[in-house]
Amino acid sequence: MQTKNSTRQLEAVFGPLELRVLEALWARGTPACVRDLQPEFPRVAYTTLMTTLDRLFRKGTLKREKSGRAFYYAPTGSPEQLVSQLAGSAFATLLPGDAASVRPIMSMFVDTVGERDHALLDELEALVRQRREALKTKGPQ
């Protein structure tokens, strides 16, 4: 189930109707077409719901499969996975190409994490160690 923190983070990216549609699909747990979702959105026009589902599909947030004349939609991941994917995309756009330019951003990230929660800083350090080990076993490319 969705946490308050992931909801707040998703609200920054998605509109209210998009978020309600995502929540309905996560709660359902199975792919759904517009007609399946319509009863949960009595004040929303069928075409508006259809457009919202299509928009979420085009954003890569939903996957869809055609069955007969209808598309059936399902989330591409859990709320937490979606937050992680969005954060990764945002972070990737902040990172310039050369190492010297990345250092100030990484330093600010570590400072911010440390100020919020010392346990998170330990977790970040463990994640860095895990990633280094994974890269060692993977070998040079």
Q: Do 73 and 32 contact (CB within 8 A), yes or no?
A: yes
- Tokens representing 105 are 């951003």
- 71-to-5, 33, 78 alpha-carbon distances in Å: 31, 6, 20
Q: At residue 10, does pLDDT exceed 80?
A: no
CATH fold, domain 4-75, is Arc Repressor Mutant, subunit A (1.10.10)
- CA 62: distance to chain centroid? 11
Work out the mean pLDDT of the chain and round it to a whole number: 87
pLDDT of residue 140: 63
**Token couple for 32:** 């759904």
Decide if pLDDT at 113 tops 90: no
Give the confidence band of 1 by pLDDT, cuts at 50, 70, 90. very low
Q: What is the pLDDT of residues 85-103, one digit of tens each?
A: 888 877 777 777 777 777 8
Closest CA to 63 of 34, 92, 100, 31: 31
Q: Residue with structure tokens 């970040």?
A: 124
Confidence of residue 124 (pLDDT cuts 50, 70, 90): confident
Task: Answer whether residue 3 shows pLDDT above 80.
Answer: no
Q: What is the per-residue pLDDT for 4?
A: 59
Secondary structure (3-state) at 28: helix
Q: Distance between CA atoms of 56 and 76, rounded to whole angstroms? A: 10
pLDDT in tens, 39-86: 999 999 999 999 999 999 999 999 999 999 999 999 999 988 988 888
Separation of alpha carbons 87 and 79, rounded Å? 12
pTM of the entire structure? 0.68
